[in-house]
Structure 1
Amino acid sequence: MSKIEETRSPVRIENMTASVIGVKESATMGSTRAQNKSNSQLTQTEIYVGSINGSKYHYPWCSGAQRIKESNKIQFSSKEEAIKAGYTPAANCKGLK
């Protein structure tokens, strides 16, 4: 150990509070929020994705869903719809069960 490390006292962080000062919402920030809301409303109608060649369904953001070719994707608006079509939840897609 070096002499500096022997005499150095540990850093302590106390009373961690954060504040944002001087931030103003611009028109583009507001429109981005509106677009994000409309995108989330659209995705809520098409929540689950499966492959026409497979038997598992996924959330669209899961790695398994992202590996499915667009031409082979099938979309379900609910878990029940996917199950009725004979699909089961993908084990590698957390939160599906």
Structure 2
Amino acid sequence: MDHMGQRIMGVVTAHVAPEREEEFLAGIREILAGEKPDGFLRYEVLRGRDGLWLIHSVWRDREAMSALRAQGKTPAALMLLDRVGATHSHDLFTIEVST
């Protein structure tokens, strides 16, 4: 299936220690206050139970996300998670259905 031009969601799953959550949220707010890359559409930060967090970033298409990654910079959210000592993993998804 051809996914060119299809919106992409980056999903980061992280475990943040309770004593680092305020620092984490302040860092997220700082990221969101900065300049947004071309093709970036939306950011969501979800709090679960027991220190579980999900970070969703939605992009216009894979090409927009790839162009940012081609610059060789570590994504700001991943640098923040490392700074607050969070364990994390990430993946990419194509958005097949959305309202």
TM-score, L = length of structure 1: 0.28
Find the structure with the greater CA-based Rg.
1
* Structure showing the higher helix proportion among its residues: 1
* Structure showing the higher strand proportion among its residues: 2
